[in-house]
């Protein structure tokens, strides 16, 4: 039985009515969505430029529900569980570990990076990092998310040793680590190694998946202005493709509010959509491919972007980024409302407008905190309250979206 045959929701009825409403500006998008047709870049621009949140939010809400249903069936869950997943918001208990803040790059929006002689510069020892992971594990963490500055003293040997030490001391923990920018940085110092060999080495040490950072905005003009040291879009996508070919799940991000135009956000999504098409054509969707898209919002403490005239995102812009990403990224399973950047209240609104994930408890998040985020971690009860306040079902997950009661990490 198909989703549309057996699933009743106000969002579905709304989209059906809209598809029949001749002359409505979103009629053709509603029709495409109902028919599983891909919306175009022009459609995406129309959505991101609209202020009609009730309409575009309902369309995205329907897509969120249907996607959750289809993903659950694809992963082998039964009909009843698939229906429950249409109302489910996922979150996990994780530790963000930033082993070094020393970085040779200079991204204008970054308040985290320090130069080596800066009194606040640090590099963790393996022992220190492992202790933090152990503590987080004892508090229920199932994942450690590792990203750091581009530090020439922290290359593949440092990180392979670090991952190995973590896996030895905390064997069940999932290691999600290294942006594509970091992988490329390691390669610059390992002239004889290909990206494939770098991944082989890290996977052998215990790497389980990759986060989605370093994407920022793919627009060349914005990248040249804001983060000229970062690899371009095609290199970023190539590195993720290689990770997928190795069987890794990876994520993708977009950092908005750094001077880009709305059209450049939609172009960014189109690049990701095409990259995912390529990986899905080559790999099993339950194996190597993008898993989750995370729209990020720039914070402005510790940088001068506001003085330079960059317009910050409004709450409406943030919600629209969720909506348009759910509609454009028809081949991504999950859209995350990253509460640490959106704030808990905006994140809660996003849950009924396209997002089905809240990230996690994010213990010890340093990067956004350095740029002005007010919160560094959130208790599990608070996350559950956010979800239930949106009249949805809260479920803890592992990194690969297995409900935590089924997770190997806790058995």
Binding site for ligand SF4 (CB under 6 A): 103, 105-107, 110, 112-113, 149-150, 181, 227
CA distance linking residue 155 with residue 150, whole number of Å: 9
With respect to ligand SF4, which residue has the nearer C-beta, 33 or 254?
254
H-state helical runs in 177-294: 180-189, 195-205, 220-226, 233-245, 262-282
Report the alpha-carbon angle 208-211-213, nearest 5. Answer: 155
Rounded-to-integer distance, Cα 354 and Cα 334, Å? 9
Name the phi and psi angles at 235, rounded to 5: -70, -40
CA–CA dist 258, 298 (Å, integer): 7
Q: Tokens 């970054």 belong to which residue? A: 110
Residue 298 or 390: which CB sits closer to ligand SF4?
A: 298
Minimal distance, residue 376 CB to ligand SF4, in Å: 17
Minimum separation from the CB atom of position 110 to ligand SF4 (A): 3
Minimal distance, residue 181 CB to ligand SF4, in Å: 6
- Residue 227 CB, shortest distance to ligand SF4, in Å, is 6
Q: Give the N- to C-terminal CA distance of the chain in Å, as an integer.
A: 33
In DSSP terms, which residues pair with 295 in a beta bridge?
Answer: 254
- 114 pairs with which residues across the strands? 102
Q: How far is the CB of 228 from ligand SF4 (least distance, A)?
A: 10
Nearer to ligand SF4, 237 or 358 (CB): 237
| Cα separation, 233 vs 225, whole angstroms | 15
Instruction: Output 48 or 298, the one with its CB closest to ligand SF4.
Output: 298
Query: Could you tell me the strand order of the sheet in which 289-297 lies?
Result: 94-97, 143-146, 174-177, 209-210, 249-256, 289-297, 334-335
Given the complex with ligand SF4, which of 89 and 256 has the nearer CB atom?
Answer: 256
Nearer to ligand SF4, 107 or 390 (CB): 107
**CA nearest to 249, candidates 65, 401, 50:** 401
Minimum CB separation from ligand SF4 for residue 5, in Å? 47
- Measured from the CB of residue 235, what is the shortest distance to ligand SF4 in angstroms? 14
Dihedral angle computed from the Cα positions of residues 335, 272, 98 and 407, in that order, rounded to the nearest 10 degrees: 50
Choice between 113 and 329, CB closer to ligand SF4: 113
Sheet hosting strand 393-396, strand order edge to edge: 357-360, 88-92, 393-396
Neighbours of 184 (CB within 10 A): 20
Contact (Cβ atoms closer than 8 angstroms) between residue 328 and residue 301: no
- Cβ distance 218 to 268 under 8 Å? yes
Least distance in angstroms from the C-beta of 263 to ligand SF4: 24
> How far is it, in rounded angstroms, from Cα 395 to Cα 221?
40
| 164 versus 235: smaller Cβ distance to ligand SF4 | 235
Q: 148 vs 344, which CB is nearer to ligand SF4?
A: 148
- d(C-alpha 57, C-alpha 80), whole Å: 25
Residue with Cβ nearer ligand SF4 (225 or 380): 225
In whole angstroms, the minimum distance from the beta carbon of 233 to ligand SF4 comes to: 16
Compute the least distance from the CB of residue 255 to ligand SF4, in Å. 9
């Amino acid at each position: 039985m198909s989703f549309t045959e057996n699933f009743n929701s106000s969002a579905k009825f709304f989209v059906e009515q809209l598809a029949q409403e001749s002359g409505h500006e979103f009629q053709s998008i509603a029709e495409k969505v109902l028919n599983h047709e891909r919306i175009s870049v022009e459609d995406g621009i129309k959505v991101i430029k609209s202020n009609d949140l009730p309409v575009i939010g309902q369309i995205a809400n329907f897509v969120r529900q249907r996607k959750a249903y289809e993903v659950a069936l694809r992963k082998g869950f039964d009909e009843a569980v698939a229906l429950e997943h249409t109302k489910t918001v996922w979150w996990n208990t994780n530790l963000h570990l930033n082993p070094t803040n020393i970085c040779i790059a200079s991204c204008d929006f970054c308040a985290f990076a320090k130069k080596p002689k800066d009194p606040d510069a640090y590099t963790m020892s393996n022992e220190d990092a492992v202790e933090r992971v152990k503590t987080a594990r004892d508090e229920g963490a199932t994942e450690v998310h590792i990203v750091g500055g581009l530090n020439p003293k922290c290359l593949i040997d440092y990180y392979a040793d670090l991952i190995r030490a973590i896996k030895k001391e905390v064997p069940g923990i999932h290691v999600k680590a290294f942006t594509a920018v970091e992988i490329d940085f390691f390669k610059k110092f390992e002239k004889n190694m290909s990206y494939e060999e770098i991944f082989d080495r890290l996977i052998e040490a215990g790497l389980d998946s990759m986060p989605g950072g370093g994407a920022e905005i793919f627009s060349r003009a914005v990248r040249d202005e804001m983060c000229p040291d970062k690899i371009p879009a095609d290199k970023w996508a190539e590195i993720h493709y290689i990770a997928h070919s190795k069987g890794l799940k990876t994520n993708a991000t977009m950092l908005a509010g750094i001077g880009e135009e709305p059209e450049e956000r939609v172009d960014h999504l189109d690049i990701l959509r095409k990259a995912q098409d390529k990986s899905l054509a080559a790999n099993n969707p339950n194996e190597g491919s993008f898993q989750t898209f995370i729209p990020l919002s720039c914070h402005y403490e510790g940088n001068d972007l506001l003085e330079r005239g960059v317009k910050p995102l409004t709450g409406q812009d943030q919600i629209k980024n969720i909506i348009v990403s759910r509609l454009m990224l028809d081949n991504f399973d999950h859209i995350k409302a990253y509460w640490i950047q959106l704030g808990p209240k905006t994140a809660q609104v996003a849950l009924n407008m396209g997002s089905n994930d809240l990230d996690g408890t994010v213990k010890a998040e340093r990067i956004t905190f350095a740029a002005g985020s007010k919160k560094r971690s959130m208790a599990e009860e608070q996350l559950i309250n956010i979800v239930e306040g949106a009249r949805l079902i809260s479920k803890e997950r592992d990194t690969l979206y297995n409900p935590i009661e089924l997770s190997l990490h806790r058995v």
